[in-house]
Structure 1
């Protein structure tokens, strides 16, 4: 699934894109933002795989938003103005669409996104390297069940084994693949593959561990099994 954030100051644009995306089963609409400031706030707490991004928005443009993001996800720019296309492609967007967007043209853009994603994943490492005491240690993604903020450190849970590492949750999250890991609380990141059950307040991991879901992270429950 591609968690997708729609960023456009026109409500009608959101409705059109949502209508087209309903026919793409691998696209999950993670949220709607109506200006770049909202999007920055959302992306500070949530990971997504794809941005559908307008250019002309109040205060901060879509181009300026991309320049601010240190590690942007895949991006399809959707604009009424073609003159920003060169700037968009210089920022390595997957495609540039002109409004009004047809289902066929959006589908072509999503095909490019899937191809680029496959290429990225084919070379993506299967582990993260973190500092433990004075050494750097490799942690395989498949072995990590939970990452917990702990003061100026993190607790990396591998089943019942816990390792204290020197990092912030934000720094660590930037190195984890969004298709496997999701932040569900300001202090917790979980491996989706280790989820056994969910309710409105908690995520239950293998072994019976219950992790509380933060109020601002409720939307992430939609991406969990």
Structure 2
């Protein structure tokens, strides 16, 4: 669980972000403040993992606040001003959200925080998560790694074929590949990835998964053969 706080001088912004946080099961809202000074005691006591931080606020703006923190937690900037982006990232903020903030964009930042938190804590329980959520139309679908058969990429969206059905979402194949367990999935073509343990057979230019033919390009063939057949190919002695 990631403990977070919201610091924003706008009541509607605080309310909206608070509602978003309550929708995400791995976030816990530890406090809400109109300015950084109200929650400084929580942050100093290192009880907070993540700050959703506005920039333009009375008494002290968000950038000034970040500069005085000796050991800042993860920070996601939430602002209506794009001009502070460079300075924010120079201060190692995790993400930079421009208002009005959609839930989809908020969830992406929250997921980034969760992944980074895993690296910081090295918590085996957190690393054991075996699923992810994607947006399909107007809802969010949970997809388990073990259910995926193969994935097809088409420009700015991907289609995930699984044992539970087909999911289409606005993601690039590259961005999805970065989230998958490296040992379980392999790129077989510039537009296709396959679950290694779901491959039924391999032919010179394609492979079979559940009755579906997936192309193998020349550039990936050697790697596919090595990874899929490694220690699994029985030879006559």
The answer for unaligned runs of 5 or more in structure 2 is 124-237
Within 1, Cα distance between the matches of 2:33 and 2:11?
A: 10
Partner SS for 1:22: helix
Q: Deviations over 1:52-102 (max 9, x none)?
A: 000001121101111111101111000010000111111111100000111
Q: CA deviation at 1:43?
A: 2.4
Per-residue CA deviation, residues 112-152 of structure 1 (Å, 9 max, x unaligned), is: 111111222239xxxxxxxxxxxxxxxxxxxxxxxxxxxxx
Cα distance change of structure 1 residues 46 and 121 upon mapping to structure 2, 3 Å threshold: closer
The two structures, once aligned, show a CA RMSD in angstroms of 1.5
Alpha-carbon distance between aligned partners in 1 of 2:92 and 2:44, rounded to the nearest angstrom? 21
- Matched ranges for 1:105-144 at <5 A: 105-122=105-122
- The answer as to 2:20 corresponding to 1:20 is yes
Whichever of the two has the greater Rg, that structure is 2
> What is the TM-score normalised by the length of structure 1?
0.52
**TM-score, with length taken from structure 2:** 0.50
For 1:41 and 1:28, locate their aligned partners in 2 and report how far apart those are by CA, in whole Å. 17
Q: How far apart are the structure 1 equivalents of 2:62 and 2:38?
A: 12
Provide Cα deviations, 1:170-222, integer angstroms capped at 9, x if missing partner. xxxxxxxxxxxxxxxxxxxxxxxxxxxxxxxxxxxxxxxxxxxxxxxxxxxxx
Structure 1 portions without partners, runs of 5+: 124-225
Deviations 1:26-54 (A, max 9, x none): 11100011112213244234610110000
Aligned to 2:69: 69
1:59-208 to 2 correspondences below 5 Å: 59-122=59-122
Are 2:42 and 2:48, in contact at CA under 8 Å, matched by a contact in 1? no
Structure with larger RCO (C-alpha < 8 A, sep 6+): 1
Instruction: Identify the residue that residue 8 of structure 1 maps to in structure 2.
Output: 8
Runs of 4+ in 1 over 3 A off after TM superposition: none
SS state at 2:23 partner:
coil
Q: How many residues are treated as equivalent by the alignment? A: 123
Change (3 A) 1:102 1:91: same
1:111 Cα offset (Å): 1.3
3-state SS, counterpart of residue 87 of structure 1? helix
